[in-house]
């Protein structure tokens, strides 16, 4: 869908797991409108979730049909701990997490503001990730879910786990 893989701040890991499960329940391929009906949702409301799932390599969309990729089928069938590893690996390819991984490689801890500054310096992302609170919330959702970092709420710092 998108030329540049990215994560929308409104999309959570749980949403990705949910849509992957529903597609699997429909035989791993279905019309996107049918998936929306199953989820009692509007297709337009699902599009950000679908785009993120596609960016992560879990689904493919063609001619209004959505299907699980091989990685997507593996993801649906995996134990929760393996799902976290699959998502962690997939995040390396999408923004703002590609930038997060650069920070992780160079620091033991970082703040959402530091990530925000890094993203702001990349011209093509400055518009998409301009709200520090949205960036912070998104980081909490994805990084804590994938167990890539710990979080110190008092200091508002992400502490990198050495994997």
Minimal CA–CA distance to 56: which of 102, 28, 19? 19
Q: Of 98, 75, 73, which is closest to residue 85 (Cα–Cα)? A: 75
- The CATH T-level fold of domain 13-77 is Arc Repressor Mutant, subunit A (1.10.10)
Lowest-confidence region among 2-6, 15-19, 113-117:
2-6
State the Cα–Cα distance between residues 26 and 10, nearest whole angstrom: 25
Specify the DSSP class assigned to residue 58. S
Q: Exposed (0-12), middle (13-18) or buried (19+): which is 59, by Cβ within 10 Å? A: buried
Q: What is the pLDDT of residues 75-134, one digit of tens each?
A: 999 999 999 999 999 998 888 888 888 887 888 888 877 877 777 776 656 566 667 777
Which tens digit of pLDDT belongs to each residue from 27-66? Answer: 999 999 999 998 888 989 999 999 999 999 999 999 989 9
Quote the tokens at residue 114: 């530091």
Q: What is the structure's pLDDT at 162?
A: 65
Higher model confidence: residue 127 or residue 74?
74
Structure tokens given for 61 = 């969309």
Coil, strand or helix at 107:
coil
- Whole-number Å distance between alpha carbons of 115 and 46: 27
**Are the C-beta atoms of 134 and 9 separated by less than 8 Å?**
yes
At residue 1 the predicted structure's pLDDT band, cuts being 50, 70 and 90, is: very low
């Amino acid at each position: 869908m998108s030329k540049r893989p990215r994560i929308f701040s409104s999309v959570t890991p749980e949403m990705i797991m949910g849509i992957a499960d529903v597609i699997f329940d429909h035989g791993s391929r279905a019309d996107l409108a049918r998936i929306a009906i199953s989820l009692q949702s509007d297709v337009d409301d699902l599009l950000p979730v679908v785009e993120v799932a596609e960016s992560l390599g879990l689904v493919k969309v063609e001619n209004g049909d959505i299907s699980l990729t091989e990685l997507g089928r593996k993801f649906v069938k995996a134990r929760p701990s393996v799902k976290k590893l699959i998502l962690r690996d997939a995040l390396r390819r999408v923004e703002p997490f590609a930038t997060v991984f650069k920070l992780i490689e160079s620091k033991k801890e970082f703040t959402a503001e530091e990530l925000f500054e890094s993203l702001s310096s990349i011209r093509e992302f400055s518009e998409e990730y301009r709200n520090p609170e949205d960036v912070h919330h998104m980081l909490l959702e994805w990084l804590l879910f994938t167990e890539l970092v710990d979080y110190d709420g008092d200091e508002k710092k992400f502490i990198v786990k050495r994997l």
